[in-house]
Amino acid sequence: MSLNRILPPIAAVAALVCCSVWAAQPEHDPAPSGAYVSDPAHSSVIWKVNHLGLSNYTARFTRMTAELDWHAERPETSSVVATIDPLSVQTNFPFPEREDFDKEIGTEDRFLAGKPIRFVSKEITAIDSHHGTVAGDLTFRGETHPAVLNVTFNGSMARQPAADSPKIGFSAELIFKRSEWGLAPKIKSVGDEVTVIIETELQPAQASNHAQ
């Protein structure tokens, strides 16, 4: 039998199966209004800065908490406070025997100076049902300046099956100029713009940190 005669029926069956599986996915009721906190098992903060125009040097913070006062019917009236421990910076510097680069970034005065990083929202603007901006005050190195997060609302569930509790998911990006905070002013090999990428799932404040 010709291969050209076999492939179309196989493709049709595959498409039917895929469509059936997609259609079978359950629809979820949205998470209710209330107080939520970030689930550390499903949250991450990554930052990157351009190096000599050749690459983006990328690192992360491993300790971040976010507290969300969620208004499901009017998300733009919600509020959020996020805190990052600067000592949790993780660069994966390949020569630890030569230099403790994580400690240097986290504690030295020219870098993060060991001072908490904090973002407090002041105004939320909805662009559409899944996108918006969150304007607020960003504090680190002991200085506070206005900052704006570009946020994607990924969705929510009134009951996430494994966690047996509501869950809300967001992605966010923040771009700021390190020169505005006096961050490592003598270093010229990296760009002025720093990009911070946040992925987080939030759960009710009383939910277990062992949620899946």
Tokens of 80: 């959020």
Express each pLDDT in 43-59 by its tens digit: 999 999 999 999 999 99
Helix (H, G, I), strand (E, B) or coil at 76: helix
Domain boundary assignment for the chain: 28-204
Give residue 28's pLDDT. Answer: 74
Give residue 1's pLDDT. Answer: 44
Helix (H, G, I), strand (E, B) or coil at 86: helix
Give residue 141's pLDDT. Answer: 94
Q: Provide the pLDDT confidence category of residue 27 given band limits of 50, 70 and 90.
A: low
CATH number of 28-204: 2.40.128.110
Express each pLDDT in 164-209 by its tens digit: 899 999 999 999 999 999 999 999 999 999 999 999 999 998 765 4
Q: Provide the pLDDT confidence category of residue 40 given band limits of 50, 70 and 90.
A: very high
Distances (CA, A) of 172 to 19, 58, 67, 123: 31, 16, 15, 15
C-beta separation of 86 from 116 below 8 A: yes
Q: Which residues contact 41 (CB under 8 A, 6 or more apart)?
A: 209, 210, 211, 212
| % of residues, the chain, pLDDT over 70 | 84
Express each pLDDT in 66-120 by its tens digit: 999 999 999 999 999 999 999 999 999 999 999 999 999 999 999 999 999 999 9
Give residue 160's pLDDT. Answer: 87
